[in-house]
Amino acid sequence: MTPTIALLLIITFLLSTVGLLVLIWSISTNQFSNSQNAARTIFTPGEEGHSEDPAREDTSAYKGDSKAAKEAFTARRVQDQSSKPAVLIWLSSAVFWLLIGSFYGLLASIKMHYPEFMADSQWWTFGRIRPMHLNAVVYGWSSMAGIGAVLFLVPRLFKTPLRGTPYAVTGAIIWNIGVILGLGAINFGLSDGQEWLEFPWQVDFLFVLGGALCAVPLLLTCARRTVEHLYVSSWYFLAALVWFPFLFFIANVPKVFPGATGATVNWWFAHNVLGLWVTPLGIGIAYYIIPKILGRPIISYKLSLIGFWSLALFYSQVGIHHLIGGPIPTWLVTLSIVHSVMMSIPVITVAINHHGTMWGSFGRIKESPTLRFVWIGALMYTATSLQGSLMALRSVNVITHFTHYTIAHAHLGMYAFLSFILFGAIYFIMPRLTDREWPWRRMISLHFWLVAIGILIYFVSLTTAGWLQGLALLDAKTPFLEIVQMTIPYLQARSLGGGLMVAGHIVFVVHFIFMLSRRGAMTQGPTLFRVRTKEISQ
């Protein structure tokens, strides 16, 4: 065993021990037994039964009917404003990377059915623009928007202003430098050559540093919290912010994992980035926003905690389902398949809470942009994960592996689930930071329909193409080129869907810039898809 592997094993052991201690602490401090009352932690006194959708306090239908309630509202405003510089820099950067990243995605898509397109220049070859797309949307858009949303929600969850904001601002600057250098390196043809880990390792430490700097304000704010109980979203956020730097650091240590070991670590990391980084961010945001907009606590608080701990237990071992059939020990693959199926436990608990809380209030997605994006995102989380558990079965994976089916699943997760929740969160957060409502309801509507129709076309076309492709590849008599030609109309449909998504992003970014520059027309009330006539109460 090399000293480096021994060191990594020691770090892993210490991390597991810390996890166990946190579990013991949470049991001993009754974090599990606060029951349904704990689900009410996110409301100010008297707020339950009132929606928080009207964005600004002064346009809100409910402003508190007692002194304590009014004070809590004022305190919440102070909490919202405390994170403003940090949240704005993380979110603005994310929105920028969304545009760049999806532009590269569209280019990569066009090249798959029109290979001559921009083929004369090394800067635009598929081998460079595909990883540029992936890394820009994962580390630029998804991670930065997720961190921005967490920085906004943490002071609300802990009911105290954000401490250590400069750490988060510095973290954003370092992270952005990392994305710029990483994408630049790939564009110059310099890459570590492993999917999801393409950024050269020399650049990677910037992400570890940027991520760790963001964890500082969260931990400082947690230490000064005025709530005794940690609401379930806090668990997801704190865990993700601690998990990410470790995962990223371990997977990027250079020259330690050669050959098949390297592939194992590569996919251990890649699915942990999905399961222990972006997924907790998405689920945690939905756990906060859905009840706040409905004015109703989640239906089973105990179940929500079971969901968190079972995610922590099962997700960390699923990554090797990416290597089914690969040259690695069978027991390792089987272990990951078992864990992939066991993932249905956290997934179902989250589904019961997210959709059960919505029960009877589905009509609210007609009016609230935030709720529409967030709830559809939550629904797609259920769909992606159940689909993923099936895809991990050997009998299904033998068809879907190495096909467009996986890409469809990837976008169902990273886009229809995660990005939708992030869009919803940004619609919720920006008015509370800028004291302005979104200027144009029609732009939000246009954004929604473009991306919703776009991802639908994307998903359906690639799922069909991938399944047919997988079946054909298993038939040794079918010539490979015939299979490639068969998929072309579906790939063209994907470019159409992707084009709509990019158009939706342009609409969103323009609206975001107006919101940032406070140049948009002020609406009289909150910007909903349609104006609500009466306040909804439980």
Residues that bind ligand HEM (CB under 6 A): 98, 102, 105-106, 108-109, 130, 133-134, 137, 141-142, 195, 274, 278-279, 318, 321-322, 340, 343, 347, 381, 384-385, 388-389, 391-392, 397, 400-401, 406-407, 409-411, 413-415, 417-419, 494-495, 498, 501-502
Best CA proximity match to 144, nearest among 193, 104, 177: 177
Instruction: Write out the DSSP string of 143-209.
Output: HHHHHHHHHHHHHHHHTSPPS-HHHHHHHHHHHHHHHHHHHHHHHTT----STT--S-HHHHHHHHH
* Nearest CB to ligand HEM, comparing residues 133 and 163: 133
* Nearest CB to ligand HEM, comparing residues 156 and 409: 409
Name the minimum Å distance from CB 426 to ligand HEM: 13
Best CA proximity match to 244, nearest among 199, 219, 266, 214: 214
Contact 40, 297 (CB under 8 A): yes
Q: How far is CA 531 from CA 53, 525, 528, 535, in A?
A: 11, 9, 6, 11
The overall longest dimension of the chain from CA atoms, in Å, is 78
* Nearest CB to ligand HEM, comparing residues 128 and 322: 322
* Nearest CB to ligand HEM, comparing residues 178 and 413: 413
* Nearest CB to ligand HEM, comparing residues 103 and 205: 103
Helix (H), strand (E) counts: the chain: 19, 0
Name the minimum Å distance from CB 457 to ligand HEM: 10
Name the minimum Å distance from CB 195 to ligand HEM: 5
Name the minimum Å distance from CB 102 to ligand HEM: 4
* Nearest CB to ligand HEM, comparing residues 230 and 320: 320
Name the minimum Å distance from CB 497 to ligand HEM: 7
* Nearest CB to ligand HEM, comparing residues 330 and 524: 330
**For helices 232-252 and 3-28, what crossing angle results, to 10°?**
170
Q: How far is CA 202 from CA 205, 233, 249, 257, 313, in A?
A: 7, 33, 11, 16, 31
Name the minimum Å distance from CB 288 to ligand HEM: 18
The C-alpha atoms of residue 473 and residue 471 are separated, in whole angstroms, by: 6
